[in-house]
Structure 1
């Protein structure tokens, strides 16, 4: 188990989705004080049902991050992720989502419920929703049409111009802003660019706090494009999308995969409309970003980041940054 204490480098991770959880499983083994700021824009599946019926932020991404950072027996993690297959009204719900919903009612609000489950799971770090209420994600497409709802945006069949949230003045959690102010490093990604990463940066004052921070800033690029969201995007296209939403070149380093993806795996993803994200290094470095490229993927049922190798690169960058700061 890693040491715990106030002197550990403070790292804030912003995002959502499976990629974030995979990476956090590696980071929690490092000597880091981790805060995860997680999207609350999801409106599909179990999360969408609980969001609508109980008027709470969607619990799915939060559940995945809590499970990733938990210091528990594997069977408990499996229990939280267990998705009911049968039952009228119960089928499709992961148990962890229901527990978070119950704790929200018991403790009085969703944020307190997350804190309670974090304590029960002995979470290594702090997990915070980007806001204490659910937000609605909207996308303006290149043809000028507006698509409403996180789950509908990738299915719209067009190219995304920008995303924005309602209510646009939703307040971030004070703890999230404080964590960003105290951060030694801020890490954004991996995850769905327009529906997991950028919604967090649309929450009032979060982007401002990231911009104003003198922390080391790292972007972890996705391995594959996402159909309906980042079709044909290169690494620099991902960075340009962040720039277009934030208004500045945010990152010091960009971590990307340059490992070969076996042809059968490529074909499997191509059938779904996904392709490997191309590293256009000249374009990336032209804007002042430093590139860390390595073989960072594993394939089991799906392509995932190699959590151990990725977290080692991140830790080395943070350690070097801390040494330079003295």
Structure 2
């Protein structure tokens, strides 16, 4: 590592080097009379030049090697042969200046997107649904009376700066015994909940322990249950049962709602939405991951009143029992209906062809690709919603996922373009709007 690399802008190193040098100079001035008396009598002062040069070399070596030693002791995660410390510090400094991004949803789609976003900004807030009642989360919810940790766990791991072995450990699911099917990460959150003053504090501590980039917040700390009314009039209780029963009765979802209906949103979540530069809805299950967050009145109100750019990331495939036959337009209309909004700013949609061999198993399960159609273009144009199309699919081991890197990069580019072309009036608007909300 070149010494001059430490002097690059943005590292916040120069100021401390300068202060250190000033401190050394003060010490030298204070001790010089004593040293002068001691050295001049022995004739050593004649070699002052060698002392200055030698001292400088030793100082630089000590600072450089000492800094690296401290990082090793602290097990600094980026300390590797492939990544220079100075470059990592520089990147972190840039990420800390990135736009404020709020992502709302749940499920696998949300955690996939977060892994992409953290490469472009450190100012990320994931607001996660707590309506899950299936799998290991459902068991802990039933046994311990706590909020479901599953979706929150996945988002925390997506934003965490952990070693691969730690992530593997937290995602490990027990194969036998009473803990069969339960993940170690869920148990860790449950344990933290047990030693904390509530679920909110527990999640904050987990964020700190795992060095999360940004923060992960539950949409509410109150216990809620998701319901769905089907077209045939039947009412289904429980997030995990809704798509199953909709398929069984061959009746689409008419609407979803939560009980109790008047739950309070987490205040931190509301504040993050208010000060966001961009609010991203999705990707994820429309009725069981995204919309449950919009059923919390404070969240819906904050989104509506926020001046942030609003983005929806459309799913790549329809979901059996939930969005059968849904087009891009139908997804947007559903979200706007629950938000009571006229429009959102952007929608991201995939236009890449999916290989036949990958599609086969999805089609057998009842899912089909969601691709923009002529009707979608007409609807978006009429409602002044801008479509961002692209090859936004990442296929691994025949599983279809969003290409988080491509989507994240495009979103950040859009936000930066808008953020730095508006004038100072927006800052004033933010302040006045916040004061108005406080009065209400």
TM-score by length of 2: 0.72
Of 219, 222, 235, the match for 2:328:
235
| 1:287 and 2:383 correspond | yes
- Structure that is richer in helix per residue: 2
Correspondence list, 1:173-212, <5 A: 173-212=266-305
Decide whether the 8 Å contact of 2:129 with 2:289 is kept in 1: yes
Contact kept, 8 Å, 2:225 with 2:258, in 1: the verdict is yes
Question: Could you give the per-residue CA deviations for residues 137-162 of structure 1, whole angstroms, max 9, x where no partner exists?
Answer: 00111122211100010011220111
Q: Which has the higher strand share?
A: 1
Matched residues, number: 325
- Contact between 2:343 and 2:383, CA under 8 Å: does it hold in 1? no
Matched, 1:297 2:374: no
Q: Which runs of 5+ in 2 are unaligned?
A: 1-87, 424-440
Aligned to 1:97: 186
| Match status 1:131 vs 2:220 | yes
Q: Deviations over 1:104-152 (max 9, x none)?
A: 0111211111111111110000110001123100011112221110001
CA distance in 2, matches of 1:57, 1:285: 41
Secondary structure of the 1:324 match is: coil
The reply to whether residue 116 of structure 1 matches residue 196 of structure 2 is no
1:193-227 deviations in Å (ceiling 9; x for gaps): 00000000001210110000110000001000000
Structure 1 residues 40-79: Cα deviation after superposition (integer angstroms, max 9, x where no partner): 0000010001011111110000000000000111111111
- For the pair shown, which has the larger CA radius of gyration, 1 or 2? 2
RMSD across aligned C-alpha pairs, in angstroms?
1.3
CA distance in 1, matches of 2:113, 2:97: 22
Are 2:372 and 1:276 equivalent residues in the alignment? Answer: no
| Residue number in structure 2 paired with 1:3 | 92
Shift of residue 6 of structure 1?
Answer: 6.7
Contact 1:58 1:134 in 2 (8 A): no
Contact between 2:393 and 2:401, CA under 8 Å: does it hold in 1? Answer: yes
Q: Does 1:40 align with 2:130?
A: yes
- Cα distance, 1:249 vs structure 2: 2.7
